């Protein structure tokens, strides 16, 4: 029973599961943006994309780096099995994707002022801020799943 549960967990957090999470969150937020485009003003989006998002992204990316280090250096039974079967690279890629989302959020925040200065059309500014928020939300969801993976490996 424990093996079945472990295989089910690994299939949920596989590369295919990673893509499904990413696409579904993107399309849900895109639909919400299309529905509420006229209701949201630029000031609200600018307040959402603030320095707090920058700080939180950097801090959580550091936590993910630490978690990846704990997984790679762990000597647990599950890690040994994953190394033997070659499935550890899927978990490494998952953590790498999470770190990439956080770093992308940081870069999008840093270029926000430059983009807002050179683009005067509010629709394009809204899209830019929407992409920043979407990337941050996606990174938070991947962060939560990465913590569940780390918990499953540590508890094994």
75-107 tens-digit pLDDT: 777 778 777 877 777 778 778 888 888 899 889
Strand (E) or helix (H) holding 50: none
The whole-angstrom separation of Cα 146 and Cα 68 is 9
Angle between helices 15-35 and 122-155 (to 10 degrees): 150
pLDDT tens track for 30-67: 888 788 777 777 777 778 788 888 888 888 888 888 88
85-93: long-range pairs with CB below 8 Å, 24+:
87/10, 90/10, 90/13, 90/14, 90/15, 91/13, 91/149, 92/68, 93/15, 93/18
The structure's pTM equals 0.75
153 alpha carbon, distance to own chain's centre: 20
The whole-angstrom separation of Cα 88 and Cα 36 is 41
- Give the position of tokens 């949920």: 12
């Amino acid at each position: 029973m424990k093996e079945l549960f472990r295989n089910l967990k690994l299939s949920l957090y596989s590369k295919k599961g990673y893509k499904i999470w990413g696409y579904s969150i993107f399309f849900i937020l895109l639909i919400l943006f299309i529905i509420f485009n006229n209701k949201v003003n630029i000031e609200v989006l600018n307040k959402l994309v603030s320095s707090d998002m920058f700080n939180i992204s950097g801090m959580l990316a550091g936590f993910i780096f630490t978690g990846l280090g704990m997984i790679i250096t762990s000597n647990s039974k599950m890690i040994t099995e994953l190394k033997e079967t070659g499935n550890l690279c899927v978990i490494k890629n998952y953590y790498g994707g999470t770190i990439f989302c956080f770093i992308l959020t940081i870069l999008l925040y840093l270029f926000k002022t430059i983009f807002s200065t050179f683009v005067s059309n509010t629709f394009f500014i809204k899209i830019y801020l929407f992409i920043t928020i979407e990337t941050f939300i996606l990174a938070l969801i991947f962060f939560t799943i990465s913590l569940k993976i780390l918990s499953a490996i540590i508890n094994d």
